[in-house]
Amino acid sequence: MTETTARADAGSVHDLGAHRAAREAAASPVVSLVKEAPTTVGPVPGTAPAPAAPAAAPLRPVRVWVRGVRAARVAVTDERTQAAGRLAVRHGAYVVAGGGIAARRVWDARSTARYERMMRTAEAAGQHEAAADWEERAQRFRAARHQRRMDLLTAPQRAAKGAAVGTAATAGGLLALGAAVALAEGDPAATLVPLLATIEAIRWVVVIAMVVWGPALTAAPWLALLALWNLGRRRQAAPAWALPAHQRSAEGEPITPSVVVQALRNLGVAALRNAIKDMGDAGAGMLGPIVIAGCGVEVDVTLPSGVSTDEVQNRRRKLAENLTRHEHEVFVTIPEAARTVRLWIADSGALDEPIGPSPLVTDPTASGDYKGGRAPWGQDLRGDAALVSLYQRHMLITGLSNQGKTASLRALALWLALDPTVEFRIGDLKGVGDWKPFEGIATVLIEGPTDDHVAQVVDVLEEGVAEMERRIMAPAGMKFPPLILLVDEAQVAFMCPALSQDDRPLDEKGKPIGAVDKRPLGGTKATSRYFQAARKIHNQGRAVDVLLWQGTQDPTDQNLPKLVREGAHIRASLVLGTESQARMALGDKAVDGGAAPHKLRQGLDKGTVVVAGDGVKLAPGQSATTIRTHYINDEEADQIAERAKALRDGVTTLHAVEAGEERDHLADIAHVVGDAAKLLTQDVLKRLTALSGGVYGDWSHVDLKRALDGTGAEPYKSDGRMNVSRERLHRALANRPEPDSTSALG
């Protein structure tokens, strides 16, 4: 504190003290017993004039105002003040709402408003017979009401006549009773005893009524307020923020028709609120039956005229909060019926519970069936098994990083691996070992994120295109085994800027023959080799069972072109960041129909996928469904893979695709046969194509036989089918005069 400030504060204290002393002196004058000296007007001679006393400074009103505001703010923000405010608002709202409910009931009882609401509700739901029935009831009510009003016109006359007759009859009866008593006792005066007793009883009734009337009249308004308060309390007719804490708990409450109607009424849609208000208690007429559906309930809501399904769908979070649920626990979809939304409401916390292991893990006898079977992928929200048909269907699965994309895709591949007729060629552009279980199952397994790995994956896809074209050009009626070309982390391929390597053959002078291939490996343009291969397979591969499965992260137009993502028959998405990404992953139709992967919780909904397209069983009118997939860990995947390998005959997995033109055919054939004692010639041709599509892509059985003629390892027939023997191939290699080989053997 500076010296100037200290002086100022001291001066202020002195001024306040002087001001207080002056006020006290004015309020109570001092009486002195000592004679006072005469007062002099001028200064005392020989002394210096005294300095004038400073004027008293007034109190600063600004500081007082600021302190008052601070005190008021503290009082208002105090928890006790807020609790008292909520209490007052809640109970006041109970009384007001109770009065409204009572007035509505009285109005309904005295008019045809109830019947008219019922008719409007039935007409909105298309129930014309019910509407006609309510109209007939309204006519009967009007007739009865008219009769009552006509009776009121003659009521005074009937009342007067009835009172006179009743009085005369009562008096006559009492006199007759008195006469009987007088005759029995022999006293004529006893004739009036019953009549006088009745008059005395009436007098006491009047006295008691006069005593009770005052307190009853005083208590009547309070009793009426209490009745209205109780009526409003039972309906919980108060703002949600003013309700008691236990009624605003996040634990949720049972879903009943009244709860759903109240949640819709408070949704913030004026037309919906007014329509429900007009319907009164018949607001539940909008609802279909509430049925148990898995770990929650499901109900169809027929919206009133003037309310669109988008208005409800876009307020999913508020609807969930009105139902005392979290946003991820309420799903709004659009069924076939017009102006109808389907609500699926989970039990509180149910979606955070695991769904259990995959049948592939629990059932060691489980098998795959490419053509007629369905893969057990998980459970839908109703708790039913989610089965996926993979027959002749391209697949795309996408989502944010570390949300279970690879595990979900691998679960389907493991089931299909249990069908020994299916061949896999896999490109894992992450390269961290997620697809190691397919060693010995896949004929090609490329693992790594570099440009060289992308080039290898592009070669795999282009050889898949060559195989597809060979199958298309084959004679009609030929059957081919399914070929799955699987690329995980496909965005790495699309985003790869590298150009094709210069693999041109050299002439005798060492100069390349032909023009260099300057096409980029990735990209979204027509010059992209990966893009072109994917598009060709999407266009024609399905017809000859050459299928492309892709997994990619964070879809955008740059890392997942529109033409490629729309070529997939099954499109699945885990949690995404935005609605625009959801539209890229699943398509506009699915998102407009209620699919919302961007509403899933990152980190908490791992393995939950929203699936659209063909191959997945959908409810009528639905364009997408939500599946909680089974999680198969690495150890379980290895066990399933071992069962799949036991169904196959020694598959040799290649980790690179050779592009050289000069090949050692005998060594290559021995290499692809691998450890199998014998191998069908058609499987040998298939593996040779995977080894080098440029050399063996056009080979037929005749070419294979020509290559082995004279070696002692010629194809032979066993069980009616042509095979190649591993032992004969190795004997032929050992007996060759030239031991060295240009093959990639070993």
The confidence score (pLDDT) of residue 126 equals 57
At residue 138 the predicted structure's pLDDT band, cuts being 50, 70 and 90, is confident
Say how far apart CA 420 and CA 410 lie, in whole Å.
Answer: 17
436 is in an annotated binding site: no
Of 482, 485, 481, the closest CA to residue 536 belongs to: 485
The confidence score (pLDDT) of residue 31 equals 44
Say how far apart CA 118 and CA 284 lie, in whole Å.
Answer: 11
Lowest pLDDT segment from 4-8, 249-253, 668-672:
4-8
What whole-number percentage of the chain has pLDDT above 70?
A: 83
Q: Which helix (H) or strand (E) holds 530?
A: helix 529-540
Crossing angle of helices 61-77 and 79-110, in 10° steps, is: 60
HSE (CB half, 13 Å, CA atoms) of 374?
A: 12
249 is in an annotated binding site: no
The confidence score (pLDDT) of residue 125 equals 53
Residue with token string 């005959």: 649
Length of the chain, in residues: 746
Would you say 518 and 526 are in contact if contact means Cβ atoms under 8 Å apart? no
Q: Which helix (H) or strand (E) holds 155?
A: helix 155-185
Of 264, 258, 240, the closest CA to residue 250 belongs to: 240
Close Cβ partners of 478 (under 8 Å, ≥ 6 residues apart) = 471
Say which amino acid occupies 729.
L
Tokens of 637: 């995947």
DSSP 88-126: HHHHHHHHHHHHHHHHHHHHHHHSSHHHHHHHHHHHHTT
The residue with greater pLDDT, 630 or 688, is 630
Q: Which helix (H) or strand (E) holds 343?
A: strand 340-346
Would you say 655 and 446 are in contact if contact means Cβ atoms under 8 Å apart? yes
Would you say 334 and 309 are in contact if contact means Cβ atoms under 8 Å apart? yes
Q: How many other β-carbons are positioned within 10 Å of the β-carbon of residue 117?
A: 19
578 is in an annotated binding site: no
Of 259, 255, 238, 357, the closest CA to residue 296 belongs to: 255
Q: Convert the pLDDT of each residue in 550-590 to its tens digit.
A: 999 888 888 888 888 889 999 999 999 898 998 998 988 88
The confidence score (pLDDT) of residue 446 equals 93
405 is in an annotated binding site: yes
Close Cβ partners of 437 (under 8 Å, ≥ 6 residues apart) = 410, 414, 634, 637, 638, 640, 641
Say how far apart CA 600 and CA 399 lie, in whole Å.
Answer: 11
The residue with greater pLDDT, 108 or 513, is 108
The confidence score (pLDDT) of residue 702 equals 82
Average pLDDT over residues 500-528: 70
Close Cβ partners of 298 (under 8 Å, ≥ 6 residues apart) = 290, 291, 342, 343, 344, 345, 382
Close Cβ partners of 349 (under 8 Å, ≥ 6 residues apart) = none
pTM score of the predicted model: 0.57
559 is in an annotated binding site: no
Say how far apart CA 108 and CA 102 lie, in whole Å.
Answer: 10
Q: Does domain 252-352 correspond to CATH entry 3.30.980?
A: yes
406 is in an annotated binding site: yes
Give the CATH superfamily of 379-500+519-644: P-loop containing nucleotide triphosphate hydrolases (3.40.50.300)
Tokens of 679: 């191998």
Lowest pLDDT segment from 35-39, 377-381, 631-635:
35-39
β-bridge mates for residue 717, sequence order? 722
Say which amino acid occupies 564.
V
Q: Convert the pLDDT of each residue in 458-507 to its tens digit.
A: 999 999 999 998 888 887 778 889 999 999 999 999 988 888 775 655 55
Crossing angle of helices 257-265 and 270-279, in 10° steps, is: 140
Tokens of 442: 């896949």
Decide: helix, strand or coil at residue 623: coil
Say how far apart CA 262 and CA 77 lie, in whole Å.
Answer: 30
Asked whether this chain's domains 379-500+519-644 and 658-734 adopt the same fold, the reply is no
Close Cβ partners of 395 (under 8 Å, ≥ 6 residues apart) = 409, 412, 547, 548, 549, 550, 568, 569, 570, 571, 572
At residue 388 the predicted structure's pLDDT band, cuts being 50, 70 and 90, is very high
Strand 385-388 with 375-380, pairing: antiparallel
The confidence score (pLDDT) of residue 600 equals 87
Close Cβ partners of 57 (under 8 Å, ≥ 6 residues apart) = 12, 15, 16, 19
230 is in an annotated binding site: no
The residue with greater pLDDT, 739 or 224, is 224
Q: Convert the pLDDT of each residue in 266-323 to its tens digit.
A: 888 888 888 887 775 556 678 888 888 878 888 888 888 888 888 888 888 889 888 8
Mean pLDDT, the chain, rounded, equals: 80
Kindly list the domain boundaries of the chain, sorted by start residue. 3-59, 84-110+154-233, 252-352, 379-500+519-644, 658-734
Q: Give the Å distances, CA to CA, from 629 to 404, 532, 549, 608.
A: 9, 32, 17, 6
Q: What are the backbone angles phi and psi of residue 3, rounded to the nearest 5°?
A: -65, -40
Close Cβ partners of 338 (under 8 Å, ≥ 6 residues apart) = none
At residue 34 the predicted structure's pLDDT band, cuts being 50, 70 and 90, is very low
At residue 9 the predicted structure's pLDDT band, cuts being 50, 70 and 90, is very low
Annotation: CATH topology of 658-734: Arc Repressor Mutant, subunit A (1.10.10)
277 is in an annotated binding site: no
Of 408, 333, 387, 298, the closest CA to residue 631 belongs to: 408
Would you say 444 and 653 are in contact if contact means Cβ atoms under 8 Å apart? yes
Residue 47 has pLDDT above 60, yes or no: no
DSSP 256-277: -HHHHHHHHHTTS-HHHHHHHH
Say how far apart CA 283 and CA 121 lie, in whole Å.
Answer: 8
Of 706, 658, 657, the closest CA to residue 681 belongs to: 706
